[in-house]
Chain A
């Protein structure tokens, strides 16, 4: 299985930048596409897609969210952080079966 490792819980101040990393145990790129996606989950809610294929902003997601990276190293950036962004963020790969998620990174306010 491809194992995803995320950065630890992060405390940030409003209007600052938050950077969350996701490292994979195997390359999740194929023919120039990164099969890496990011989701936001708030307590009691379903996950919501933020970024697909490494760097593409999902429909309706504010431009303060961005994704970057390739291969085995990926980053989700929120700049600037707003109060509504307090949540847990998950990366997920679907290059190979079984599809796997990272353990999540909880974003908190400093």
Chain B
């Protein structure tokens, strides 16, 4: 079955960067779009962008341009998101989610989330 296993909680300092991972299993990693979604404390959900691991193509929400960088490692079936120049505003839970087949399909599968806390 499809599983998305995310990396653990991160406590990072302001102005630094962090890279979180999402290891996929149970399907062909290179043939499906992987999305990333942010949920700030007590808030709703924001779509950050997607990556197509088959060719590395990406699409970002303009709001996250320069903040998030999406990459994928085909050899380990793992998607990554690097967040840079961190501020307290970046403290949130970050989810990876796979759309069913097409990029415009619904988010059929979700990782368990990675909590990132930015604090000095």
Co-assembled chains A and B = yes
Q: Which of A16-24, A72-80, A98-106 contacts B (4 or more CB under 8 A)?
A: A98-106
Residues of B within 8 A of A35 (CB): 104
B110 and A46 form a contact (CB under 8 A): yes
> Which partner residue on chain B sits nearest A59 by CB separation?
B108
Within 8 A of A (CB), among B102-120: 104-108, 110-113
A90 and B45 form a contact (CB under 8 A): yes
What are some 24 contacts across the A-B interface (CB < 8 A)?
A35-B104, A37-B106, A39-B107, A45-B112, A46-B95, A46-B111, A47-B95, A48-B110, A49-B107, A49-B108, A52-B105, A52-B108, A58-B108, A90-B45, A92-B45, A92-B107, A94-B105, A97-B59, A98-B47, A99-B47, A99-B61, A101-B45, A101-B47, A104-B45
**B74 lies within 8 A of chain A by Cβ:** no
Q: If A46-B111, A46-B112 touch, does A100 touch B47 (CB 8 Å cutoff)?
A: yes
B61 and A104 form a contact (CB under 8 A): no
> Which partner residue on chain B sits nearest A88 by CB separation?
B44
> Which partner residue on chain A sits nearest B60 by CB separation?
A98
- When chains A and B are docked, how far (Å) is the Cα of A92 from the Cα of B105? 11
A94: which of B46, B106, B112 is its contact (CB, 8 Å)?
Answer: B106
A76 to nearest B CB, angstroms? 14
Q: If A46-B95, A46-B111 touch, does A101 touch B44 (CB 8 Å cutoff)?
A: yes
A98 to nearest B CB, angstroms? 4
**Contact residue range for chain B?**
20 to 34
**B19 lies within 8 A of chain A by Cβ:** no
Having A92-B106, A99-B47, one finds 19 other A-B pairs with CB under 8 Å, namely A35-B104, A37-B106, A37-B107, A46-B110, A46-B112, A46-B113, A49-B106, A49-B108, A52-B100, A52-B105, A52-B108, A58-B108, A98-B47, A98-B62, A98-B63, A101-B46, A101-B47, A102-B44, A104-B44
A98 and B61 form a contact (CB under 8 A): yes
Question: Quick one: CB contact mask for B24-57 with A, threshold 8 Å, 1 for yes?
Answer: 0000000000010000000011110000000000
Which of A37, A45, A94, A103 gathers most chain B CB within 10 Å? A94
